[in-house]
Amino acid sequence: METGGNDGPVIEVRDLRMRYGSADVLRGVDFHVGRGEVVALLGPNGAGKTTTIEILEGFRLRSAGRVRVLGTDPGRGDEAWRARLGVVLQSWRDHGRWKVRDLLDHLARYYTPYRRPYDPDELMALVGLTGQADTMLHRLSGGQRRRVDVAVGLVGRPELLFLDEPTVGFDPQARQEFHELVRRLAELEDTAILLTTHDLDEAEKLAGRILILVGGVIVADGTPAELARQVSGKTEVRYTRDGERYVENVEDGTAHVRDLFARYGDAIGDLEVRRARLEDVYLAMVRDFESEQRGEAA
């Protein structure tokens, strides 16, 4: 379906290409995002993550390829289509003298011809800004300011939310609260979310699926567990048996642990099961790509 469909993927990208001057930044990117999915787009600096997101938002025109967002080509999206998207950019520096509630109230009006926006008080409660409702934006701390950015992205109850490095500048508590908010949005509101981050723990915690963009193509697409298996295929199991330490690398951690308890029961202690972390996987994939490049250049 070409327009406005509620079925099928929320984002569909096929053979997306982007060239700036003579530089090919995207060289055939393929992926999709389904309704209510949280997907993290990872990649080194300059990989083309912001370019990809801005093409999907309709802020940049692609060089080639097929792109559909909520059933529409973003290059031709109208206001009604745009009202179904939420965008959280790198921090917003305008409107310093506006109070938080007034800003959200003002922005909510923009959506009313198209959909039922959040009530500003409900939205401030959702993002943890109730105490700052009457504070001017330029008096907020960096983390509070970022919450305003998130609230601005959410005000129209988007079906699809783009988050570009959402938690830069958050303290650990704000970060954790933000993670809970993202989970709630995906579960209760069925909002699909595409986020970019350099924080791999954050990606692993939040995203059901990870995309790794390197060299202008998606080199990995899967759950964190699937990517870990692709790279190492092994799970590390550590334990003590009768006080002696053991570290073993096995294919199937669950089966191995079951076997250990069946054989040794209470003699097993201090059990830890660790599959490759997303960070290990990510660094291995970027390294592989770079060494391939060097091979080709030679």
Ligand X SMILES: Nc1ncnc2c1ncn2[C@@H]1O[C@H](COP(=O)(O)OP(=O)(O)OP(=O)(O)O)[C@@H](O)[C@H]1O
Q: Which residue ranges make up the site for ligand X (CB under 6 A)? A: 20, 25, 43, 45-51
Separation between Cα atoms, residue 111 and residue 25, nearest integer Å = 34
C-alpha–C-alpha distance, residues 39 and 28, integer Å: 19
Complete edge-to-edge strand list for the sheet that includes strand 23-33: 23-33, 11-20, 64-69
**Nearer Cβ to ligand X, position 52 or 144?**
52
Q: Say which DSSP state 232 is in.
A: T
Phi/psi class of residue 225: alpha, beta or left (left: φ > 0; alpha: ψ in -120 to 50)?
alpha
Q: How far is the CB of 138 from ligand X (least distance, A)?
A: 26
Query: Which residue lies nearer to ligand X by CB, 53 or 182?
Result: 53
Residue number with CB closer to ligand X (51 or 167)? 51
- In the complex, the smallest distance separating the C-beta of residue 33 from ligand X, rounded to whole angstroms, is 18
By beta-carbon proximity to ligand X, the closer residue of 17 and 35 is 17
* Of residues 70, 37, 63, the one with CA closest to residue 48: 63
CB of 224 to ligand X, least distance (A): 20
Q: How far is the CB of 44 from ligand X (least distance, A)?
A: 7
| Nearer residue to ligand X within complex by CB, 210 or 260 | 210
Q: How far is the CB of 30 from ligand X (least distance, A)?
A: 17
Q: Which residues pair with 160 in a beta bridge?
A: 85, 192
For residues 60 and 241, which CB has a smaller minimum distance to ligand X in the complex?
Answer: 60
Q: Which of 176, 146, 79, 41 is nearest to 154 (CA)?
A: 146
- Closest to 39 (Cα-Cα) out of 30, 31, 47: 31
Pick the closest to residue 11 from 28, 30, 34 (CA basis): 34
Distance CA 148, CA 88 (A): 10
